A and B are shown apart, each in its own frame.
Chain A
Amino acid sequence: MWRFLARRLSSLLLVMVVAIVVTFAAIHALPGDPVTVMLSDHSADREMAARLRAEYGLDQPLAEQFLRYVGGILTGQFGLSFRYVHTPVVDVLRESLAISPVLALAALSLALVLGSLVGVHAALHRNRVQDTAIIVALVAGLSIPNFAVATFLVYLLSVKLGLLPVAGWGTLGQAVLPVVVLAIPSSAYVARLARTFMLEVLQQDFVRTARAKGLAERLVIWRHAFGNTLVPLATSAGVMLGGLLSNTVVVETIFNIPGLGRLAVDSIFARDYPVAMAVVLLFTFFYAGINILVDLFYGLVDPRIRDGATA
């Protein structure tokens, strides 16, 4: 068990190291110059540009910039933002930090619950009308781009019907639409998984035994059959969470939510190197971390791993 854990953690470390190098290289390979962006349309002032470049250390050779950056990270300093002058990167990130994970988790929960219900229902009524209808809906849910769905929903629910606020983040009402839009593709995915797993499980012997024993149908379905799909579902949940975190980008843009996704895109376009690097590293850390947690969880429940064999 411990060896398993150690391996996973060392793998995380390796991933972060590679991430730091790759992110640094990619961000500095971005065409265009942060100083130009800082000065925007009045960027032809060479003196000012030179001063800024010196102040931010952008005139140093790349290798030196890299070493300084890594040194900074190790001491917990992520530098100052280019776009928000004088503001530490940590401050810029702080407010967004709480938002995106909450958004992603809420969407995940909704997806798991909704998806499971729908998927199980379809499995129970296999090949009948409900099943086909559901399958079609699911495929559609996975296929229509989320920005199109979002626009349509905003138009219908916020403007036409006035039921929900349009944008922003802070009240429960404002959270409904973004979470729903984010959750739709994942719900469809969960539903398909749930349906497939349930179909498999329902054919197995122990289900027939439970029924023969005279257990209430509901108990059979939910406790026994569905219960056995939980682990594979949970494993997928972990992966989905990572994907959801990434997909917050578009949703945050449309609903004007000041989260990490929007910050990532904005800072890359604005050539705000320190913030962009920090956000990308953060995403990678979350993503890799979630995968590790899922592996750990799997290790916990799978006796082969738990009891010492390395996976």
Chain B
Amino acid sequence: MRSMLLRRVLRQKGAVIGGTIVLSVVLTALLAPLLAPHPFDATDLLNTWASPDDVNPLGTDQLGRDILSRLIIGARVSLAVGLSVVTVTLVVGVSVGMVAGYFGGRTDAFFMRAVDIVLAFPEVVLAILVAAVLGPGLLTVIVALSLVWWPGIARLARSLVLVQKQELYVDAAIVCGTPAVKIIWRHILPNIAGALLVRASVGVGFIIMAEATLSFLGLGVQEPVPSWGSMIRDGLPALRTDPMLAISASLVIGLTIIGFNLLGDGLRDALDPRLHGR
């Protein structure tokens, strides 16, 4: 079963391309200190906005720091934010959603009411408000984005569980006297993991984009730690004379998000039995 799935995934061109991109980004993030040719915080005011050359393959930024090195280290931040937020929202959202979906009744009503309320707030404004309250920084971004994202996951998990509840194996487990927790954890969860994974994969892309937006508004990671979003923010004012900073950071973000999106789409197509004539 698993190998068939893998083969199906591999047959999706999009997934392969996406997966390659994602893998490259992850590897870059992990090996960042080894890959970066220069220290990311070494300023050199006599060499600001340098054009690409042998020493600085992508040139330097407004403080004379090497752009390539900062992009590489920036991968860590973007990925850290993306993965942290996705992890937190998956844990919280899936727990809430599954409990609500499985037990139904009042538990369901209570949790879903909470989800509805959070979902009723416009995302961007909520993120800004939270970030403003907590002050700029990496942790703030993670908290703000997690707060905004978990309800969507909860809703998804709940509807997935509702579908699964109709299946025979659930009835069988109940009849056997299996405790609810075990049913949820051991039986239902593996069956919905695929769909959740798809959502998570695409989600990382959007979270990276949201981090860039928060950085653009000045609420993101602090200097001198580079994040792709804050690099775009620094580079945009100089777009017409020294475009390299803004363009390279935009391309890297865009490519990474494309990678996650393609991967997610590919996974979804691979998992969807309908598209395979079944």
A/B: CB atoms within 8 Å of each other: yes
- Using a CB–CB cutoff of 8 Å, the interface residues on chain A facing chain B are 11, 14-15, 18-19, 23, 26-27, 29-31, 135, 139-140, 142-145, 147-148, 151-152, 155, 199-200, 242-243, 245-247, 249-250, 261, 264-265, 268-269, 280, 283-284, 286-288, 291
Contact of B132 among A30, A147, A250, A288 (CB under 8 A): A30
Q: Binding site of B, secondary structure by majority: helix, strand, loop or mixed?
A: helix
Select A15's contact among B117, B129, B132, B209, beta carbons within 8 Å.
B117
- The answer on a CB contact under 8 Å between B261 and A246 is no
List 30 interface pairs A-B (beta carbons < 8 Å), by A numbering.
Answer: A23-B129, A26-B133, A30-B132, A30-B133, A31-B133, A142-B261, A143-B205, A143-B253, A143-B257, A143-B258, A143-B261, A144-B250, A144-B253, A145-B216, A145-B229, A147-B213, A151-B236, A151-B246, A243-B122, A245-B122, A246-B122, A246-B123, A249-B124, A249-B128, A249-B217, A250-B217, A268-B129, A269-B132, A284-B122, A287-B121
Residues of chain A contacted by B55 (CB below 8 angstroms): none
User: A148 touching B246 by the CB < 8 A rule?
Assistant: yes
A246 touches B120 (CB 8 A): no
**Which one of B14, B236, B254 contacts A143 once the chains associate, using CB atoms below 8 Å?**
B254
Cβ-closest 10 pairs across A and B: A143-B257, A246-B124, A246-B122, A288-B120, A148-B250, A144-B254, A15-B120, A283-B122, A143-B258, A287-B122
A247: contacting residue among B124, B240, B262, CB under 8 A:
B124
Per-residue CB contact flags for chain B residues 63-76 toward chain A (1 = under 8 Å, else 0) read 00000000000000
Q: How far apart are the CA atoms of A286 and B135 in the complex, in Å?
A: 27
Q: Is the CB of A264 within 8 A of B261?
A: no
- A interface: dominant SS: helix
A-side contacts of B124, CB under 8 Å: 246-247, 249, 261
C-alpha gap A265/B261 in the complex (Å): 29
Interface size in chain B (residues, C-beta < 8 A)? 40
Once bound together, how far apart are the Cα atoms of A152 and B257, in whole Å? 19
CB distance from B31 to the nearest CB of A (A): 24
Mark out the residues of chain B between 215 and 229 whose CB falls within 8 Å of any chain A CB in the assembled complex: 216-217, 229
Select from chain A the residue with minimum beta-carbon distance to B272: A196
Neighbour of B125 across the interface among A11, A15, A264, CB < 8 A? A264
Cβ 8 A contact of B261, one of A29, A139, A249, A291: A139
**When the two chains form the complex, which single residue of A19, A155, A264, A287 contacts B239, counting CB atoms closer than 8 Å?**
A155
Contact with A along B239-257 (1 / 0, CB 8 A): 1100000100010011101
